[in-house]
Structure 1
Amino acid sequence: MLRLRALSGLPRLLSGASCLGAASVLRLGPGRPYSVKRRSYWQALQRWLRGPPTPPFRRPCLVGAPVLRAVAAAVPPEQVRGPEVQRLVAALVAALRRADAVGLSAPQLGVPLRVLAVEVPERIVQAQAPRLRLARDMTAVPLRVLINPRLRVLDSRTVVLPEACHSVPGFSACVARHRAVEVTGLDERGEPVRWEASGWVARILQHEVDHLNGQLFIDRMDSRTFQNLHWMEELE
């Protein structure tokens, strides 16, 4: 999932961590401890009674989850309108909006299928400074669901901009992406679609299709630009 907040540098990112005990703290050598997700005893009891969550998850998987490194399988066209795929699409859209993200893929919810969703509300575009909107060629996009997308490069020139991802929370790095692409596939109704995109939307599509192929932005990044988005806070 391509994360807008890291690109804009505005609100803080939510840090992801494993779910341990109610007072668990992880220390990586001397210095300030890194807190791990806390859970009350009541929450722990509820989790024990319900058992572990099953896909599609409510929140994106974090780097380290094997599903993020697997090549997702195609959805049989005759199953697109079936209940399982429709449930996945609904979960994907709900998680996309819950995270206030602009793109999300099914593998990020633990489902290794070639399904992704993209949505760029006008409020997100307008929240950026004019110079940033221009530099990133940002435009609003209504919700689009793509099943079995195939990506073709239309403009091989590349643009380098920072990217981040909810599956690698708290970090960003500069990534080179093609200026314009074409994506073909099926929509959530099983109808053929063809989408030409440029600028920031093309970047989102390339980021999400990478997820379907088991790749993360850290595989394409300029490693010299890799940064913890909270590094200044750690100096306080």
Structure 2
Amino acid sequence: MTVYNIVELGDDVLREKARAVPKITPNIIKLLDNMARTMYMAKGVGLAAPQVGISKRVIVVDTGDGLHELINPEIVRSEGQEIDNEACLSIPGLMGEVARATLVEVKSLDRNGKECRLRAKGFFARALQHEIDHLDGVLFIDRAKNISKIKKKED
């Protein structure tokens, strides 16, 4: 498996609307595997294909309950709202307060091309919304209030 380089703010692909995946191919399966490996190596909780320079509607998320792979994800329902801090692997060193839905229902395809529906709340819902935003060229800094630098932990 490959670990991809994560593109950072300023790369045009982060501002593009990613293309839908018309068919699940071996290359899409390889993309999912490599994105998961890249996310884990970077100690992230989510990663969207544009963050590795690939303009496809593919995300991976793991907020602690196992890996979720979503192809062509679409939020079909959302409820509530809460504000919390977010950061991003593509914007190192910054964080900001972002309002997100507290509960979302997402429709997508899995790696076998089967349609799935996923209900998420709390941090998992936030991570899904953050990654789906990436597929539309929206970054957390576009939605954030009170953007600040992340303080480095003292060694």
Q: Secondary structure at the match of 1:215?
A: coil
State the alpha-carbon separation in 2 of the partners of residues 57 and 173 from structure 1.
27
State the alpha-carbon separation in 2 of the partners of residues 98 and 231 from structure 1.
19
Q: How big is the shift at 1:60?
A: 1.3
Verify the 8 A CA contact 1:57 1:110 in the aligned structure 2. no
Q: Structure 1 residues 196, 227: closer, same or farther in 2, change over 3 A?
A: same
What fraction of aligned residue pairs are identical, expressed as a percent? 39
User: What's the TM-score, normalizing by structure 1?
Assistant: 0.62
Q: How big is the shift at 1:232?
A: 9.9
Q: Secondary structure at the match of 2:101?
A: strand
Partner of 1:148: 72
Verify the 8 A CA contact 1:153 1:178 in the aligned structure 2. no
Of Structure 1 and Structure 2, which has the larger fraction of its residues in helix? 1
Q: Structure 1 residues 232, 90: closer, same or farther in 2, change over 3 A?
A: closer
Stretches (4+) displaced over 2 A: 230-233
Asked if residue 90 in structure 1 is aligned to residue 33 in structure 2, the reply is yes
Count residues with an aligned counterpart: 153
Letter of the 2:105 partner, please give it.
E
Partner of 2:135: 212
The 5 Å alignment of 1:6-25 reads none
Coordinate RMSD, CA, aligned: 1.7
Q: Name which one, 1 or 2, has greater alpha-carbon Rg.
A: 1
Partner of 1:31: none
State the alpha-carbon separation in 1 of the partners of residues 86 and 78 from structure 2.
21
Verify the 8 A CA contact 1:181 1:198 in the aligned structure 2. yes
Structure 1 unpaired stretches of 5+: 1-55, 122-140
| Cα deviation code 1:98-145 (max 9, x no counterpart) | 111111100000000000001123xxxxxxxxxxxxxxxxxxx21110
User: What's the TM-score, normalizing by structure 2?
Assistant: 0.93
Verify the 8 A CA contact 1:148 1:185 in the aligned structure 2. yes
Verify the 8 A CA contact 1:57 1:109 in the aligned structure 2. no
The 5 Å alignment of 1:51-70 reads 58-70=4-16
Structure 2 unpaired stretches of 5+: none
